[in-house]
Structure 1
Amino acid sequence: MCASYGLDPRFTDAELLAEADADILDGLREWAERNAGETLRPTGKNLRNLNPIVVPQDGQATLEPAWWGFLVNGEPAKFPSINTRSERLQDQPGKARARAIVPATGWFELRKPDRVWHEFGLDGGALFGMAAVTQRGRTADGERFTCFSIVMRPAPEHLAGIHDRMPVLIPTDYAREWLQAEGGREVIDEALAAAASLDQRVVATPRSNDKGVDEKLF
């Protein structure tokens, strides 16, 4: 489960889009600087901390602030919705008709039973993209948002001892297809195969709570 992730404005070479859009990268750096290095957390009923995602618009990739987790009947879903299992999308590919990429420089997981937090990311501190599915939602006051859920898969062997799941990472050469391809199980299968190419580049670093990870959220 990914319940917190980070976006450090000091990220190195972007591994987000095959043809990195300067406006998107500048927008991410500006957003991350305004966010003062805080980890990103799900948007709640009383706190609208909208997070940047990359979505397709008129055939182009564009940056949009979005609600992490689904809104149902005017309020946050009562079922877990900030993450979606890749296996569920393979069984129900219709839920992956609308997709996005979530930019990040790291995500956080708690290793049990010793309760040590670890930060995961690509070697070199590169900006990377996590696969997400999206849907539109509205709050009780009628305001509408794009809502997103990060797609999770089983972790590879060298990470499974820390946590058994991880986000589906989208390499640059698959980013455009993930955003724009027709829906269907094929796009999920292809995303999982593409993500595996990054497995050996994922590193995990033990962290203490002074890094901004709040145990009360988990």
Structure 2
Amino acid sequence: MIDLHYWPTPNGHKVTMFLEETGLPYRIVPVNIGAGDQFKPDFLAIAPNNRMPAIVDHAPAGGGAPVSLFESGAILLYLAEKTGRFIPSDLRGRAEVLQWLFWQMGGLGPMLGQNHHFTQYAPEKVPYAINRYLNETNRLYGVLDRRLADRAYVAGADYSIADMACYPWIVPYEKQGQSLDDHPNLKRWFEAVRDRAGTVAAYAKGPEVNPNLGQTMSEDAKKVMFGQTAANTKR
């Protein structure tokens, strides 16, 4: 059994997508990030960066003590290696998946996250920041579109953890100021991933865990989400 510490965000969806694709048994432990659950001591014990998702695998390969992990990319890689699925075993295929997984972790996610912050959540409109991240989002969409021009999935012919990592960040494309019609290869890929049974099942978990999903974030939640420093982080 895997305990998944989760809230329905792009990074949270990555892990439910993998788990639903493989059928691994798991239990969701909600982490209400708007209420500050990510700062509770029990969660920090497994996720010291106070970010979800995190997992605790109570049945790791080879037995022994449970294994806990934070960081969604590390979790996807761990689960792929645990199951032998969604990552190739050959050197070149594995390298393709890993480089695009890290591309998402280091570029697509952080840049689109800043887009979300300055266009949706910032208390004041900062035109330079908005334009900076809208343009960078568009550039990254273009990278994916060119990548997908001659292959079905991000890392090649087969669906992989690279696709699971990227897809949730494209879902809110309209809020990111983008049109998929401008990126036809990306649109074709997006629709293929969207329609997978594992993706449908994963996204169904969101409103089950957070009935208020899609509603405007409260000012108190924004303070919790965006107001923490090393000095005032909740313990």
TM beyond 0.5? no
Could you tell me the TM-score, scaled by structure 1's length? 0.30
**Structure exhibiting the larger radius of gyration computed from Cα positions:** 2
| Structure showing the higher strand proportion among its residues | 1
| Structure showing the higher helix proportion among its residues | 2
